[in-house]
A and B are shown apart, each in its own frame.
Chain A
Amino acid sequence: MPVLNLDLLALGIAVAAISILGFIIYFSNRKSVTNRLFLLFTIVSALWGIANYISYKIFDPVFGALSVRLVMFFAVYQAGLFFLLTYIFPQEKYKFSKLVKFIYVPVLFVVSVITLTPLMYSEVIIKEGVTPQPIPAPGMGLFAIVAVSSVIAGLIILIKRLISSKGNARLQFVFLLLGVLMMFGFILVFNFLFTTVFDNSSFVPLSGIFMLPFVFFTFYAISRHELLNVKIIGTEVVTVLLIILSFAEVVLSSSFGEIFFRSGVFIALLVVGILLIRSVIREVRQREQLQLLNKRLEDLDKQKDEFVSMAAHELRSPLTAIKGYVSMIIEGDTGDIPEKARQFLADAMAVTDRLVRLVNNMLNVSRIEEGRIVYQMEETSLIRAIQETYYSFRVEAERKKLDFKLVVPNGLEDNVKVDPDRIREVISNFVSNAIKFTEKGKVNIVMSNPIPGFVKVEVVDTGPGISKEEQSRLFQKFYRAESTSGKTFGTGLGLYITKLLIEKFGGTQGLNSEPDKGSNFWFELPVVKKV
């Protein structure tokens, strides 16, 4: 036999737990109407539990009658507060309507007063060895109407809200409903089924405990609405179950030695359990924070893209105008100009084109990476695309007195399926790099069919060359090679974009280079049979 008075202990724990949860919620946000109502509900529930216990344990006609009346008195408010709580949950601010203020609450009050009179229970019959037997009076009907309709209305509201809500809010209502169902389930089984079918009312004094599920789940829904996470809830449920089991063992101990030992286990489990839950909460919180940060980063990235896109577009307009004026003067649209001026303008044109390429690269890089770029794939002659690029760089190469040649063997197969504009960008990036880094000697564009079915373009220069170490990093984003003079050029995007584009067109690209001897940048594309 257990050495403790189980009835009283269970009730004490239930009442203490209910009140503590009520006050925790209240103090966590004193201004919230939901939290205030919850506190009221827990207080009334605790008092109801106590009155209920007493009513079954007192064998005195006067106090017996008083205690059963008190049970009903608190029950009225319990039902009323349950309705109001479901009505406003989980709002913090709420103004009750006139209907509630001037009709519902007064009705509750009147009925509650009636419950204290003999109109509810006329008397309590007390016999030796049998639980006290209260005799209901007509007032009971009034109580039943008010209490039952309040509870049913509350339940309907709860189910409606549950259906119409989503996500976390929905989980909150699920918790509330779960609590309500468990509460009613217990009451139905122990207060009704057991007393009527099995004629066993030994559980009725423990009714206070049956309030626990609802109080607990509502507490959870209010306090943890940001933490309604399966992982956390799972951990908490398992931990609480273990703790309850361990506590039951303490309670069911048959000797003080056992109580001592099992209490030790219980406390250890309690501590470990709390630590475990906390660590899980921390982990989940961190993950949520990471997701939030990630979202913010994505937004920022999008903003950056939009900014780059806008800025590049704005840069292009003046560049177009400069190119337009200069090209027209060079082409003689404004009449003859001195040779020296023509050379200068040709230089200006080359420099402007460099700027245009820079803007193009800036615009392209993120779009290519994200696959947002639109390619205009068509079958085209690679020779023609390269010729155009070759001509556009001639001035720049001549200025540096470089041997700048395009070598195309007879009968070259050059039909490829690419986006012609993009393939010109690829060649431009190779050639502009070669010219930029080569101070004297040659820059040659050499085309060939290394094996049938493939066309290769090599840009061979006699520049400073690139060390093996640098070669491996050259096609990376933002990597900028150092020239012999220690200067770096450009944005570090050109070769990276080249690589992305060539891969997109089903080709390969690469680099052969030796320091002090020069470099050979190349790419290879599959040849398409002409239709």
Chain B
Amino acid sequence: MADDIQAASETNPLVSEPGKKVILLIEDDPFLVGIYREKLEIEGYNVLIAEDGLQGLNYAVSQKVDLILLDILIPKLSGIDLLVRLRQDEKGKDVPVIALTNLSGSDDEEKIRSYGVKDYLVKSNYTPGQVVEVIKKYLP
């Protein structure tokens, strides 16, 4: 894992605008990435995108991240495994996470909640605007 983190730090994808909160969006559907990024940027956040779990974990532990929007069914490293490893990391263990997924009602949901996610949102039940409202609760 140390190597992964090293590699990620070398290619810092974020041109950070100072003073803005950073949201790490871990999502593999390109359409949804487009929509959420657009909406979040309109709302004044810096958005960091990871399209798979491994990349997401690397960013989460190597970058300054204020909140993570986490899809669960993602390539390379599932959202659940990502949470497990994130919570073991010194830097990543306190980052607020909102699960944003289309999985619902299953045992997985219970498991994910047990890792201390702030909220568990079923994507199709929320518009991007509503997602932002939830984010604002945790990032005043």
Interface residues of A (CB under 8 A from B): 309, 313, 316-321, 323-325, 327-328, 331, 333, 356, 359-360, 363-364, 367, 372-374, 376, 421
Contacts and interface: CB of A to CB of B under 8 A. Distances in A.
Contacts of B20: none
A403 to B, nearest CB: 26
Contacts of B105: 363-364, 367, 372-374
Contacts, number: 71
B14 interface: no
Contacts of B127: 323-324, 327-328, 331
Contacts of A421: 122, 125
30 contacts: A309-B106, A313-B103, A316-B102, A316-B122, A317-B102, A317-B124, A318-B31, A319-B124, A320-B123, A321-B29, A321-B31, A324-B32, A324-B35, A324-B36, A324-B127, A327-B127, A327-B129, A328-B38, A359-B124, A360-B125, A364-B105, A367-B105, A367-B106, A372-B105, A373-B105, A374-B105, A374-B106, A374-B107, A374-B109, A376-B113
A327 B103 CA distance: 22
B85 interface: no
Contacts of B102: 313, 316-317, 320
Nearest to B109: A374
Contacts of B35: 321, 324-325, 328
A320 B109 contact: no
B104 to A, nearest CB: 7
Contacts of A363: 104-105
A360 B104 CA distance: 9
B113 to A, nearest CB: 7
Interface in B83-140: 102-107, 109-110, 113, 120, 122-125, 127-129
Interface string B69-92: 000010000000000000000000
B2 interface: no
B36 A356 contact: no
Contacts of A328: 35, 38-39, 127-129
B42 interface: yes
Contact of A317 (B29, B38, B109): B29
Nearest to B124: A316
Q: Is the interface of A mostly helix, strand, loop or mixed?
A: helix
A323 B29 CA distance: 15
Contact of B123 (A317, A331, A372): A317
A497 B40 CA distance: 35
A376 B103 CA distance: 15
Nearest to B43: A333
B13 to A, nearest CB: 23
A325 B127 CA distance: 9
Contact of A333 (B39, B103, B110, B120): B39
A422 B20 CA distance: 35
Given A309-B106, A363-B105, A321 B32 contact: yes
B108 to A, nearest CB: 9
A50 B58 CA distance: 87
B40 to A, nearest CB: 11
Contacts of A364: 105
A495 B98 CA distance: 31
Given A328-B129, A372-B107, A374-B109, 16 more contacts: A309-B106, A313-B102, A313-B103, A317-B29, A319-B124, A321-B35, A324-B31, A327-B128, A327-B129, A356-B125, A363-B104, A364-B105, A372-B105, A374-B105, A374-B106, A376-B113
A367 B106 CA distance: 8
A384 B42 CA distance: 27
